[in-house]
Amino acid sequence: MFRLLIAALSLNVLLVAPLWWRNGDLGVPMIALEAWVLAPLLLLVPGGGLRRLLVGLVTLLAGLVSAANLGDAATHTAFGRSLNLYLDLPLLRSVHDLLVGNVGQLAGVFIMALAGFSMLAAMVLIAMLLCPRRAYSPRRLPGQFAVVLTTGALALAVLEYSGHRLLAKSALPMVATLRFQVEQVMVTHRARQSFEKQLADSPLEARALSGLEGRNVLITFIESYGVSAIDDPRYRDLLLETLAEMDERLAARGIGVVSGLLEAPIRGGQSWLAHATVLSGRWIDNPLWYRLMLDSNRATLVDDFHATGQRSLSVMPAITLAWPEGIAYGFDEIRAARDIPYAGPRLNWVTMPDQFTLDYVHRHYLDGPPLFAQITLISSHAPWTPILPVLENWSMIGNGAIYAPWENASDPPEVLWQDLERIRDHYGWSVDYSVKVTGRFAERAVGDDTLLIVMGDHQAAPLITGEGASAAVPVHIMSRDPMLLDAFRARGFVDGTLPRLDRLDDVPRMSELRHWLREDFGATND
């Protein structure tokens, strides 16, 4: 009976431990009823090839379910949503890169290897315990105990499945996970068909935006700048002071600003989906939709501005590998990390500071023919260390070598990330830095014929915002031309750098921005 109890308990822990992370509550659930059905049942199966096959299948299935639930917990922690195997398997590389960026290459590899080894060791242990030389006989006490345990656990499992829970901390993780993922596959497949039909039926062909002809139009994304940064008590005092100062400085230079909120399609990461949503005018909330949209060759804002006469530029300092998506969008010029002449240090995950990126754009691209640019800022990306100062004298920035003293000026991520409150402090400081330098950039870059759109790409992860936070992000529109701002006022934007925060449950989607530009500045209406 000792073998039986150890086997069932080991299988039980394998199944429920990932749920403790997902639920944020150690010991809830505590009992995986399937473990107490399957372990005694397998010990009753006569020895030989059949039992080894069944034990192998059950152990493999339990390992896969446990891995899926670990993935679900990680997905929830990072992105505030559940794992969808149909969509999320391509994210494995991104998870690895993010982990390495936060805790370092050695620690990241060690964590992933330790997790894999621990799960494999648990599966091997369970398989060995379930394969004794002799099967339990129903005529002997251990076998009789196994029969009673299987019968009782099966009865409880049937009641649990039908919605009648008798044990407060019991669950059916194998059944629930398999059912959920199967349902996800079916629902997502139907949604894929619907999205493909939408692409075919609503092509959104390129349209000239005559109201923006001859102007520089710059869409600047600030990493992890969600509404929580200006609404959550943990961060708002810092950011509201910066926004108020930005208001005053812009007004003193004759630059108007209106602000609003848009709902981002994602939280915590996958910024490229927010970029795709803005550029395409479609709701792109997963990697499959992203790929389908790019493969469809449908027109985007890039094509709209090409039709208007602007040259197009994408500045992507976070891109360190090949980026064929940029070619698919049709940008005239793409500046990824290796294309930008930065001579300063890499600052953990961040390849270069935001102020350097903005200064580079200002020095090299804003004095030529009219430009449409997508600029992505990354200093407020996790791990949020080090925190840089704003350099008031932009002429000092040069090639970025001035940032060398900050390479090791703060605690490394593996130290910072041991303290949740310090993580949150650094998040607030890093977003404040990015917002502040973007405001300073606006003072220099917004000329008489410029429309600058500054927006967050998504909310930070639930670790930062808490559970259930709005998916809204602030959007600031800056121009010296009051007529350009009037179009956004008509869409509900308000004067100043602080958007209305009283209707977070009724925020337009980020995909609306392209439609607004086409309707308000295009030659004809859709």
Give the CA distances from residue 237 to residues 174, 242, 243, 428, 512, in Å, rounded to whole numbers and listed in that order: 46, 9, 10, 10, 30
Note the pLDDT tens digit of each residue in 258-306.
Answer: 999 999 999 888 899 999 999 999 999 888 888 888 878 788 999 999 9
Q: Which residue did the predictor score with more confidence, 414 or 470?
A: 470
| Residue 455, strand partner residues | 221, 475
Q: Give pLDDT, residue 526.
A: 45
Is 200's pLDDT higher than 50? yes
- How many Å apart are CA 291 and CA 272, to the nearest integer? 11
Is 418's pLDDT higher than 90? no
Judged by phi (left if over 0) then psi (alpha if -120 to 50, else beta), residue 466 lies in: left
Q: Which residue did the predictor score with more confidence, 139 or 168?
A: 168
CB 353 within 8 A of CB 391: no
Please tell me the pTM assigned to this model. Answer: 0.76
Q: Is the dihedral of CA 261, 264, 269, 270 positive or negative?
A: negative
- How many Å apart are CA 302 and CA 333, to the nearest integer? 11
Taking residues 80-95, report their average pLDDT: 66
- How many Å apart are CA 240 and CA 227, to the nearest integer? 11
In CATH, the number for domain 216-521 is: 3.40.720.10
Taking residues 394-417, report their average pLDDT: 90
Q: Report the chain's C-alpha Rg in angstroms.
A: 27
Taking residues 371-394, report their average pLDDT: 94
Q: Is the dihedral of CA 362, 365, 368, 373 positive or negative?
A: negative
Note the pLDDT tens digit of each residue in 88-111.
Answer: 766 566 555 555 555 566 666 666
Sequence-distant (≥ 6) Cβ neighbours of residue 174 within 8 angstroms? 15, 32, 34, 61, 62, 65
Half-sphere exposure of 295 (CA within 13 A, CB side): 8
- How many Å apart are CA 123 and CA 67, to the nearest integer? 12
Taking residues 400-416, report their average pLDDT: 88
| Residue 377, strand partner residues | 222
The tokens of 46 are what? 């006569």
Q: Give pLDDT, residue 452.
A: 97
Helical ranges in 80-135 per DSSP H: 85-88, 92-103, 105-129
- List the single range of 18-32, 243-257, 258-272, 423-437 with lowest mean pLDDT: 18-32
Of the chain, the percentage scoring pLDDT greater than 70 comes to 92
Note the pLDDT tens digit of each residue in 299-344.
Answer: 899 999 999 999 999 999 998 776 777 788 889 999 999 999 999 9
Taking residues 410-416, report their average pLDDT: 85
- List the single range of 100-104, 244-248, 326-330, 389-393 with lowest mean pLDDT: 100-104
| Residue 344 DSSP one-character state | S
Residue type, 472: A
SS3 state of residue 391: coil
β-pairing, 450-456 vs 216-222, is parallel
Q: Give pLDDT, residue 288.
A: 80
Taking residues 127-153, report their average pLDDT: 77
- List the single range of 128-137, 154-163, 293-302 with lowest mean pLDDT: 128-137
Q: Which residue did the predictor score with more confidence, 323 or 346?
A: 346
Average pLDDT, the chain: 86
CB 461 within 8 A of CB 436: no
Sequence-distant (≥ 6) Cβ neighbours of residue 245 within 8 angstroms? 439
Q: Which residue did the predictor score with more confidence, 267 or 191?
A: 267
Torsion angle defined by CA atoms of residues 239, 244, 246 and 250, in that order, rounded to the nearest 10 degrees:
160
Note the pLDDT tens digit of each residue in 207-235.
Answer: 999 999 999 999 999 999 999 999 999 99
Judged by phi (left if over 0) then psi (alpha if -120 to 50, else beta), residue 268 lies in: left
SS3 state of residue 449: coil
Q: Give pLDDT, residue 516.
A: 96
Domain ranges of the chain: 2-188, 216-521
Is 525's pLDDT higher than 50? no
